[in-house]
């Protein structure tokens, strides 16, 4: 499964929101699974969108045939768009489904891992971080994915409320980071907490 993450700075919210409605045509595209997202808390007017596709080949076919037509209505409504593609590696909590209808908050972590530490980082994600997140009340599901460049990873988790996400406290995260030897693995990490916009869900 392919995970597509788009992040952009919105300069015209009304036009951007209207344009999002055009993406309602995506379910007719071969290989499309779902799309959703919302507004990031880290910077004003930052929009995040996550799309799920059965394969890179089917996604590339969509990009060549239909993408520009669907995207045209949002032209000029945003700037500094970044699109990153990742391949699914494993669930963060067993039973992952690419759906947003029951989700209030997303947490995305974009990790750049040191040379030769990619497999250790993935192993620690599975053995240390995943059980901790899976056991947190309100954590619905998540996905761990890797870019073609093996040093780049995405961790996306879905939560049923901002209040429950807040319980995953900093002191606990610090203890987990020590267990996972994250300092030896990570060269850089960026992320955001995202308030899901239900009208964007396809």
- pLDDT digits 0-9 by tens, 123-137: 999 998 888 888 888
Token pair recorded at residue 200 = 């964007």
H/E segment holding residue 131 = helix 130-134
The arithmetic mean of pLDDT across residues 91-120, rounded, is 93
CA end-to-end span of the chain: 17
Hey, what domains does the chain have and what are their CATH numbers?
2-200 (3.30.70.100)
66-89 pLDDT per residue, tens: 999 989 989 899 999 999 999 999
H/E segment holding residue 48 = strand 46-53
Give dist(CA 24, CA 2) in Å, integer: 19
Token pair recorded at residue 50 = 């996550």
What's the confidence (pLDDT) of residue 62? Answer: 96
What's the confidence (pLDDT) of residue 169? Answer: 60
What's the confidence (pLDDT) of residue 43? Answer: 86
32-62 pLDDT per residue, tens: 999 999 999 998 899 999 999 999 999 999 9
Q: What are phi and psi of 159, to 5 degrees?
A: -130, 150
């Amino acid at each position: 499964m392919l995970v597509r993450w788009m992040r952009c700075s919105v300069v015209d919210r009304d036009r951007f929101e209207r344009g999002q409605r055009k993406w309602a045509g995506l379910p007719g595209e071969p290989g499309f699974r779902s799309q959703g997202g919302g507004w990031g808390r880290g910077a004003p007017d930052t929009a995040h969108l996550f799309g799920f596709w059965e394969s890179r080949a089917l996604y590339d076919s969509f990009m060549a045939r239909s993408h520009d037509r669907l995207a045209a209505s949002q032209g000029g409504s945003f700037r500094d768009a970044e699109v990153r593609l990742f391949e699914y590696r494993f669930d963060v909590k067993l039973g992952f489904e690419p759906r947003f209808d029951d989700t209030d908050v997303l947490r995305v972590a974009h990790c750049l891992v040191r040379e030769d530490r990619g497999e250790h980082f993935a192993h620690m994600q599975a053995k240390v971080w995943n059980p901790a997140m899976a056991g947190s009340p309100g954590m619905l599901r998540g996905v761990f994915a890797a870019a073609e460049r093996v040093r780049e990873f995405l961790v996306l988790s879905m939560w049923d409320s901002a209040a429950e996400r807040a319980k995953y406290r900093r002191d606990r995260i610090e203890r987990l980071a020590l267990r996972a030897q994250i300092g030896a693995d990570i060269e850089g990490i960026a992320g955001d907490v995202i308030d899901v916009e239900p009208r964007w869900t396809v």
